Amino acid sequence: MNSYFFIPVTKLHKIDSLNTKSIDHIIIDLEDSVKASERDELVQNLYFHRSAKNHYLRVPIVSSKNKLDLSLIESFVVKGFTKFVLPKLNSKKQLDDFLSHLNFNTLDLILLIESPRLYLELQASIMSYVNCFKALSLGSHDFISILGSTYNESNIFYLRQMVLIMARSLQIEAIDVASMDLRSNDEFKNELKVGFEMGFDGKYIIHPNQLETLLDYKFYTKEDYDKALAIINEVELKGGKEEFDPFVFKGQVVEQPHINAALKVLKFYK
């Protein structure tokens, strides 16, 4: 799974050291981690940071009065920033207004779904957003807070699954939720396992310890690799992916979905 590592803009000085680690994507957070009184100075620092444009920015685009406010993100676009995580949108109308105001075809956007209303409206209209986003993800903690539910795996599983399905409908990445519990490494490992088995492509990371766990985690075993390699070798002997008929491999019928799964294992090991 790809890592999407959140770093508060107040810790911008640590980005250069993070770049030496095996992080796939860095997200500089200007939303939850920033006091309003400090934002202007921090934004100015970000404008002139030498590598900030290579990373995603999570920028507030909805005001405390639930009104769309694009002034900050527009200022970053003018400065040449192109990669953004979009938080706190409450409805399809707000999303459509955002997309109509900015030339989104030049931007790399991750949509963070945190509102029950937006979640439901997207399910009915998801195919109208082809080529709009790089990835979809669930802002599970805000979402569950709005519902008034207890935060646990069973209460977010279906929500995660539906966001994954919407992402696959658009043929884009699905990023799994952030884990706020830093006390239990076993709990985080379980979250990685469940997310990977569900089919998520990436994982939000909020702490270096989580990153180390992700990097060390064995998503596939040696046995998984050997089986995948044997299946693909058998497919090649039968004329390749486009020519084979379903066959039996160690008691299991192998069809196109099994070949795709085997190729995914081999790609991971490469």
Q: From first to last of its 270 residues, what are the pLDDT tens digits of the chain?
A: 999 999 999 998 888 777 667 899 999 999 866 777 788 889 999 999 988 999 999 999 999 899 999 999 999 999 999 999 999 999 999 999 999 998 878 899 999 999 999 999 999 999 999 999 999 999 999 999 999 999 999 999 999 999 999 999 999 999 999 999 898 889 999 999 999 999 999 999 999 999 999 999 888 878 888 888 888 888 888 777 676 778 888 888 888 888 888 888 787 776
Instruction: Tell me the two tokens of residue 62.
Output: 């909805």
Listing DSSP states for 19-58 in one string gives TTS--SEEEEE-STT--GGGHHHHHHHHHT-SSGGGSEEE
Q: What is the pLDDT of residue 139?
A: 97
Whole-number Cα distances in Å, 176 to 40, 181, 197: 31, 15, 11
Q: What is the pLDDT of residue 209?
A: 92
Instruction: Tell me the two tokens of residue 234.
Output: 């058998």
What lies within 8 Å, CB to CB, of 54 at 6+ separation is 26, 83
Q: CB-hemisphere CA count at 13 Å for 186?
A: 0
**Nearest 10 degrees: CA dihedral of 124, 135, 109, 83?**
170
Contact yes or no for 205/2 (Cβ under 8 A): no
Amino acid identity of residue 224, one-letter, is D
Closest CA to 136 of 90, 86, 69, 198: 86
Contact yes or no for 80/106 (Cβ under 8 A): no
